[in-house]
Amino acid sequence: MNKTLKFPAVGPLVAIGGAEDKTSEANILQRVLSLTPVEEPVVGVITTASSIPAEVYEGYREAFGRLGAAEVLDIRIRERAESRDAGFLDMIERSDIIFVSGGDQMRLTNILGGSAALEAIRKRHDFGAVIAGTSAGAASMSTTMVYGGAADDSLRKGAVKMSAGFGLVAGVIIDTHFLERGRFSRLMEVGATNPEYLGVGLGEDAAVLFDGGTIRAFGPGHVVLVDSSKITGSNVFDLSDGEAVSVHNVIMHALVDGYGYSLTDRRVLTPDELRAIRPEQWIAYS
Amino acid sequence: MNKTLKFPAVGPLVAIGGAEDKTSEANILQRVLSLTPVEEPVVGVITTASSIPAEVYEGYREAFGRLGAAEVLDIRIRERAESRDAGFLDMIERSDIIFVSGGDQMRLTNILGGSAALEAIRKRHDFGAVIAGTSAGAASMSTTMVYGGAADDSLRKGAVKMSAGFGLVAGVIIDTHFLERGRFSRLMEVGATNPEYLGVGLGEDAAVLFDGGTIRAFGPGHVVLVDSSKITGSNVFDLSDGEAVSVHNVIMHALVDGYGYSLTDRRVLTPDELRAIRPEQWIAYS
């Protein structure tokens, strides 16, 4: 009865950099759909982050419908009180894919943080549902979430604004619209504040699949990884707010479709190497 | 008689990221003035790159005048024909500091490339005059010069536009307004095309002094160095124009005032290490 039973392991998690193609190509959305083994999947679209939920939902309804979804649900939670609404919880329960739209990530965490809806989403994920998020929906997946800070003002102590995200993926901090808005310095500052976390800078129309200890890049755009684990120096702890941050020996990788990264070994994986690693969800489905 | 005789070695070369403070602080312009041993130096301002030369000259006349320059010369070469004008050549000859303004670096190389004026500038530099340039005036100092390419479009093969610069400094490619315009991906693309060159990304109100094999950062802004010499992979030669460039293992350093870099050892130098290295021009003046 319960559809979740057919997924014995945690589902795929996809983070998208924003502005993904929704036209006939729809490279990334197609890939998101392909990640569930359900033939005609139900997609639940959460538009909580957006200030124009009707328009955003309509765009995804059309795109996912064209790509073969059986149903595209409008999970339009606008206020914290609605995050325990039985109708919305039921929609989450029914979704094979939960897609979190862009907008303001602070709206997302403020309205959904610690809610029954988030608990339901986590449970669906634990039982194999795909969780995908774009822009704010991607940024909020980190344990610590970047929510602000003008790119041209960053690398000044305190310029990058961080708060607690949903923690759907460990060990990384996700930023979006990365190349388009020149956010390299944001993730350099983030890395200086705590070198343990890998910065994942998603370009527009680019995505990553978090697959156990492996990151797989896909889509037409770029994924820039900012590895601060080998930094040799920084003045960040010596500064007052607003002072210029130095940080030395940050390693960056610009990945394109087909490349990946090993979070455990901290190194780029070529398409050949990636093919040799069987994706976790495939194992789960076999 | 010839003032150049008192400078036995090539003069200091300063590249500034643009939008340097011209008010009472004027941290960078003050430093530029301090680099000549001449007590009340003559500053020649070359506004060829700018479309508003009168305004730009006036700004520097006021700033350098206030900071102690004896004279600020208006070297307003607007056309290629004027680049051999005896009056302008004489101004260059008389300048202890030659300051090249911002604007369009292509105007600069088109009008001054291979000219008598450029030859005169090089000669002044060889005999110890300070050469400083901001924005376009800094970018044009490279052997290969970046002159265009929208930051949000870069890391696509062919997106970064390069041509031949003045070659006042070897081994580096300079980009300006670096953090403010999010140009990290430009220098990552440049590095993929030829890893030998160190990318020098100058933020606004930030500068570097090229001092033999050492780079010294100063000013309130950031200097980002993009070292592609250890890249482990890139698809750049496999692509058609417009396709997404991958590049792995690019090392970046965000330097602030007081830090430096050894071009020979490819490593960051701390303020303490820098103090131990006597600047070349000090040796020259002793």
pLDDT per residue as tens digits for the range A111-151: 999 999 999 999 999 999 999 999 999 999 999 999 998 87
Q: Is A6 inside a domain boundary?
A: no
Of A182, A232, A250, the CB nearest to B151: A182
Of A182, A244, A250, the CB nearest to B256: A244
pLDDT at B286: 35
Interacting residues of B53 by C-beta distance below 8 A, sequence separation 6+: B47, B76, B78, B101
Looking at beta carbons, which residues of chain B come within 8 Å of A151?
Answer: 179, 182
User: Sorting pLDDT into bands at 50, 70 and 90, what band is B2?
Assistant: very low
d(CA B190, CA B174): 10
Average pLDDT over residues B235-262: 95
Report whether B173 contacts B146 (CB < 8 A).
yes
pLDDT at B279: 65
pTM of the model: 0.88
**Block residue for tokens 């680099």:** B35
Indicate yes or no: CB of B155 within 8 angstroms of CB of A254: yes
In the predicted model, is pLDDT for residue A284 greater than 60? no
In the predicted model, is pLDDT for residue A8 greater than 70? no
pLDDT at A279: 64
Helical pair B53-67 and B27-34, crossing angle rounded to 10 deg = 70
What's the CATH code of the domain at A140?
Answer: 3.40.50.880
In the predicted model, is pLDDT for residue A270 greater than 90? yes
d(CA A184, CA A176): 10
Of B152, B181, B235, the CB nearest to A179: B152
pLDDT at A151: 78
**What residue ranges in B121-242 does DSSP mark as E strands?**
130-134, 144-148, 161-164, 172-175, 198-202, 207-211, 214-218, 223-227, 233-234
pLDDT at A154: 82
d(CA A31, CA A99): 13
Average pLDDT over residues A181-196: 93
Phi/psi of residue A6, each to 5°? -75, -10
Average pLDDT over residues B59-82: 97
Report whether A75 contacts A92 (CB < 8 A).
yes
pLDDT at A228: 96
Nearest residue to B221 (alpha-carbon basis) of B25, B8, B5:
B25
Indicate yes or no: CB of B244 within 8 angstroms of CB of A222: yes
For CA atoms B106, B108, B113, B115, the dihedral sign is positive
Looking at beta carbons, which residues of chain A come within 8 Å of B221?
Answer: 244
User: Sorting pLDDT into bands at 50, 70 and 90, what band is B71?
Assistant: very high
pLDDT at A280: 55
Q: Is B8 inside a domain boundary?
A: no
Q: Is B172 inside a domain boundary?
A: yes
CA angle A151, A155, A157 (to 5 degrees): 120
Q: Is B7 inside a domain boundary?
A: no
In the predicted model, is pLDDT for residue B200 greater than 70? yes
Please list, residue by residue across A107-128, b when 16 or more beta carbons sit within 10 angstroms of its beta carbon and e when fewer do.
bbbebbbebebbebbbebbebb
Share of chain B above pLDDT 90, in %: 86
In the predicted model, is pLDDT for residue B284 greater than 90? no
Q: Is residue B235 packed enough to be buried (19+ CB in 10 Å), middle (13-18) or exposed (0-12)?
A: middle
Average pLDDT over residues B213-239: 95
Interacting residues of B232 by C-beta distance below 8 A, sequence separation 6+: A268, B248, B249
Q: pLDDT per residue over A210-264, tens digit each?
A: 998 999 999 999 999 999 999 999 999 999 999 999 999 999 999 999 999 999 9
- The secondary structure of residue B55, as a DSSP letter, is H
The half-sphere exposure of B85 on its side-chain side, counting CA atoms within 13 A, is 15
In the numeric block, which tokens belong to residue A253?
Answer: 């990788």
| Residue A267 domain boundaries | 13-285
Average pLDDT over residues B238-266: 95
Residues of A with CB under 8 A from a CB of B: 151-152, 154-155, 179-185, 188, 220-222, 224, 232-233, 235, 244-257, 259, 268, 270
Q: Is A53 inside a domain boundary?
A: yes
d(CA B218, CA B223): 8
pLDDT at B54: 98
d(CA A222, CA A218): 8
Indicate yes or no: CB of B179 within 8 angstroms of CB of A254: no
Looking at beta carbons, which residues of chain A come within 8 Å of B180?
Answer: 152
Q: Is B4 inside a domain boundary?
A: no
Looking at beta carbons, which residues of chain A come within 8 Å of B215?
Answer: none
Share of chain B above pLDDT 70, in %: 94
- Give residue A158's region: left, alpha or beta (phi > 0; psi -120 to 50): left
In the predicted model, is pLDDT for residue A30 greater than 90? yes
Indicate yes or no: CB of B249 within 8 angstroms of CB of A251: yes
In the predicted model, is pLDDT for residue B7 greater than 60? no
Please state which of the ranges A239-248, B168-177, B271-280 shows the lowest mean pLDDT. B271-280
Amino acid, single-letter form, for residue A131: I
In the numeric block, which tokens belong to residue B140?
Answer: 């044009």
Average pLDDT over residues A270-282: 78
Average pLDDT over residues B190-194: 93
pLDDT at B280: 55
Q: Which among B50, B101, B115, B135 is annotated as catalytic?
A: B135
pLDDT at B285: 43
d(CA A112, CA A98): 14
Q: Is B189 one of the annotated active-site residues of the chain?
A: no
Indicate yes or no: CB of A256 within 8 angstroms of CB of B249: no
Of B152, B247, B252, the CB nearest to A180: B152
Looking at beta carbons, which residues of chain A come within 8 Å of B250?
Answer: 251-254
As beta bridge partners, residue A210 has A13, A215
pLDDT at A69: 97
How many domains does chain B fold into? Answer: 1
Average pLDDT over residues A13-39: 93
Phi/psi of residue B56, each to 5°? -65, -45
pLDDT at A71: 98
- The secondary structure of residue B221, as a DSSP letter, is S
pLDDT at A259: 96
Average pLDDT, chain A: 92
pLDDT at A248: 96
Report whether B277 contacts B214 (CB < 8 A).
yes
> Which of residues B177 and B24 earns the better pLDDT score?
B177
In the predicted model, is pLDDT for residue B6 greater than 80? no
Q: Is B63 inside a domain boundary?
A: yes
d(CA A128, CA A119): 14
pLDDT at A20: 93
In the predicted model, is pLDDT for residue A4 greater than 90? no
pLDDT at B277: 84
Average pLDDT, chain B: 92
Q: Is A21 inside a domain boundary?
A: yes
In the predicted model, is pLDDT for residue A101 greater than 50? yes
d(CA A90, CA A105): 23
